Amino acid sequence: MMNFNVNGKAYQVDVEPEMPLLWVLRDHLGLTGAKYGCGISACGSCTVLVDGAAVRACGVRAGELAGKKIVTIEGLGQDGLHRIQQAWIDHQVPQCGYCQTGLIMSVAALLAKHPKPTDADIDRDITNLCRCGTYPRVRAAIHALAGD
């Protein structure tokens, strides 16, 4: 049995230490917001926060998470829409939407670290892939959130 703190709740799950966090979240905890995209930590569709840092859930193993606090998209706006989610609506960021939960989680980590990020900060920290190409809208939403 492994213990997890996900979205402020304690869970005990019987999984192998090598199991990727993504499968723990989706298959064992029923939290399907993090999406499977590539399986090699390249696309970012599975991004969650681990102790506040953006982490690709397909690339981190369950056994590496003892004592860590995990936040998924389901935990980001527990009391309604999070301000990032509202900015996504206001700036009409999503098109197909598949990658958006990962992008939102990456932006949450960015804004926690850099409340007023520069374009260079955005380029460095937001490396998620979006096949629809909503990058200009993502950047506009981030700048609006930063008060630019």
Q: What is the pLDDT of residue 47?
A: 98
pLDDT along the chain (148 residues), means of 10: 96 97 98 96 97 98 95 91 96 94 98 97 97 95 92
Please name the residues in contact with 10: beta carbons below 8 A apart, sequence gap of 6 or more: 3, 4
Q: What is the pLDDT of residue 148?
A: 61
CATH numbers and ranges of domains, the chain? 2-76 (3.10.20.30), 83-145 (1.10.150.120)
**60 membership: H or E segment, kind and range:** none
Instruction: Provide DSSP, 106-134.
Output: HHHHHHHH-SS--HHHHHHH-----TT--
Q: What is the pLDDT of residue 77?
A: 82
Q: What is the pLDDT of residue 78?
A: 78
